[in-house]
Amino acid sequence: MKPLTQSNYAKGFLIDDELMAGVTEHPKQLGLFVAFILEHQTGNYLHCQAFETLTQALDSLNKIPRPWSYESMGGCSEKGCKGCSSPCSGRNQLTKS
């Protein structure tokens, strides 16, 4: 399992067959971090807790014994995506923008 770290938490999340977990900055209280777990099929939140430090939030998820995989949310650059079969145009393919 690749854990969430201070360098990757903002670029991805943990995922398995049932759940998705991540950490984000609190939207209303600067300086707090929120650890969350949700069912990715339904979007239902199972856990959402604010922490005073990023380390506390990351540790709360990394200690959960699940077969997590790290999934990057990163887009691709003008030069193309690594692992893609065709170059990336930088456009959203779902909305055709």
Per-residue pLDDT tens digits of the chain, which is 97 residues long: 789 999 999 999 999 999 999 999 998 999 999 999 999 899 999 999 999 999 999 999 999 999 999 999 865 444 444 444 433 333 333 333 3
**Residue 60: which region, alpha, beta or left (left: phi > 0; alpha: psi -120 to 50)?**
alpha
pLDDT of the residue at 2:
83
55 with 5: CB under 8 angstroms? no
pTM for this predicted structure: 0.72
pLDDT (0 to 100) of residue 1: 75
